[in-house]
Amino acid sequence: MILFSDLGIGPDLVQALDKQGISEPFEVQRESIPDSILGHDVCCRAPTGSGKTLAFGLPLLARTKLAKSKSPTSLILTPTRELAEQICSVLKPLAKAIGVNVLSVYGGVSYRNQLRGLEDGVEILVACPGRLLDLIDRRALTLKHTNIIVLDEADRMADMGFMEPVCKIIEMCSKERQTILFSATLDDEVSEIVEKYQDNPITIEVGPEEVSIESMEHYFWKVKNHKRVDITAEIVKKSGRSIVFCKTRRGVDRLEQDLIEKGIACTPIHGGLNQNQRDRAMRKFSTGRTMVLIATDVASRGIDVEGINCVINFDPPENGKAYKHRGGRTARAGTSGIVVSFVPKSKERIYSRIQKEVGIKYRFTLPQIEVLSENEFELVPPEKGDRSDRKSRRGRSRGRNRISKNKRKFSSRERQKDRPDRRNKSKRRGVDSKGRKKDRNNSKKDSKLSEGNKSRNRSRPKNKRRKSNFRS
């Protein structure tokens, strides 16, 4: 049996790993750690959930140099806040054992703690590209002494349009740097990064090249839009812990409300939540306090949560690649999983294209809950606060709408009262109140009188009663 000590990991780190019950390295760790510790550039293709964090984290801990204020010596770039937090949670206990500081920086939270941490000095910085460049622009740190850089989930950073800022960041680091890259695929823009910024890298490939769709059970059910919530609830009650993907933030929030009303504990996660809300959501789901995670595609990759039995495509993914990424949240570590896609009439063409891109062929059928594998679990009901808070927020929102609507109606009635009746005026021009024709001279006098009345009215104070009625 190969141990971490056999890979070049020092006794302090080995002891810290033992305290966490980690004694035997995974395949990706066995293959990549020795070359990384020797200082070689490493290009590793490995699937999510294979143990990549320790594969690049342990060499960083072993090789990182003492840092000065605002000048980290090692950098880990990651595409999302969730991944940054996840990496930190793995590395911090190990770093503490050897006196190394680890800090994560990402958007959506206050600058205060991040600035303070950088000021104190940090050896390993875990960062999202956007916030890192922002901090550099603020002169909160420099990368000129950063001699080890890790690109985690490089393919996803490419998918999210981060390649330009990533390249900019790499060029800010030390010219004598070691560059370590981990990715689920090594094609397109990722291969360009390898060619441009790595020096004779050691290439390592672990596991299947892509998410194995053969390990999943695929169902494409013809469901009308208004029936999707009911079917989702039935699937969860049959399959247990699930992730449901929606296209928009609003769709996520609406589905959360609907499932809570059906007695199912669920948690939303999307880009509209602040970091504390996102952390709390992931904690609730990973610890089993909620049955369902409702997400946009922000959570389709990089979130490693065990025990997910089913993935539900409430809304269709953008393409075949996104379908694989969503489905990859289940069927982890050689286990099987279920992927159910709702196919309204208007989405049949989209799913036909997705099946072709993925390389599968399934008929669109009516829902059959009985065919799903039944798992043993205890259905978790919503917490009381979830239900009451949701209802109270909804009630307040509706109340505001009613008030504003009433105001609009009232003001329009007032305007109609004040507006002269043009139709009647045109019909009865030159006719007095008794129906007699007006004399032209008299009409001139009347007009002068009316002009005088208008000028006097201008000087009068406004009608207070009418003003108060408008406000009510």
pLDDT digits (tens, 9 = 90+) for 6-32: 999 999 999 999 999 998 999 999 999
For residue 335, the model assigns a pLDDT of: 58
pLDDT tens-place string over residues 423-465: 444 444 444 544 454 454 444 444 444 444 444 444 444 444 4
- Of the two residues 182 and 434, the one the predictor is more confident about is 182
Per-residue confidence at 108, pLDDT binned at 50, 70, 90? Answer: confident
User: What's the CA gap between 431 and 435, in Å, rounded?
Assistant: 6
Task: Assess whether the region 4-205 and the region 213-387 belong to the same CATH fold.
Answer: yes
Q: Is the pLDDT of residue 470 over 60?
A: no
For residue 320, the model assigns a pLDDT of: 87
For residue 388, the model assigns a pLDDT of: 36
- Of the two residues 430 and 213, the one the predictor is more confident about is 213
Neighbours of 62 (CB within 10 A): 18
Class of domain 213-387: alpha beta
**Both tokens of residue 112?**
């205060």
> For domain 4-205, which CATH number applies: 2.30.290.10, 3.40.50.300, 2.40.110.10, 1.20.1540.10?
3.40.50.300
Per-residue confidence at 381, pLDDT binned at 50, 70, 90? Answer: confident
Decide: 48 and 208 in contact? Cβ < 8 Å: no
pLDDT tens-place string over residues 398-419: 333 333 334 344 344 444 444 4
Domain boundaries, the chain: 4-205, 213-387
**Both tokens of residue 121?**
């000095």
**Both tokens of residue 86?**
């996840």
**Lowest pLDDT segment from 36-50, 61-75, 197-211, 212-226:** 197-211
Q: Is the pLDDT of residue 196 over 80?
A: yes
Q: Is the pLDDT of residue 39 over 60?
A: yes
User: What's the CA gap between 47 and 59, in Å, rounded?
Assistant: 19
For residue 302, the model assigns a pLDDT of: 53
What is the rounded average pLDDT of the residues 259-274?
Answer: 87
**Average pLDDT value for the chain:** 81
User: What's the CA gap between 302 and 294, in Å, rounded?
Assistant: 15
- Of the two residues 278 and 99, the one the predictor is more confident about is 99
What is the rounded average pLDDT of the residues 162-182?
Answer: 95
CA 99 to chain CA centroid, nearest Å: 33
What is the rounded average pLDDT of the residues 293-299?
Answer: 82
**Both tokens of residue 358?**
């993925």
Give the gyration radius of the chain's Cα atoms. 32
Q: Is the pLDDT of residue 38 over 90?
A: yes
For residue 303, the model assigns a pLDDT of: 62
Supply the angle between the helices 188-197 and 163-172 in degrees, to the nearest 10: 10
Give the SS3 label for residue 123.
coil
- Please give the share of the chain, as a percent, with pLDDT higher than 90: 54
- Name the region of 302 (left: φ>0; alpha: ψ -120 to 50; beta: rest): left
Decide: 290 and 265 in contact? Cβ < 8 Å: yes
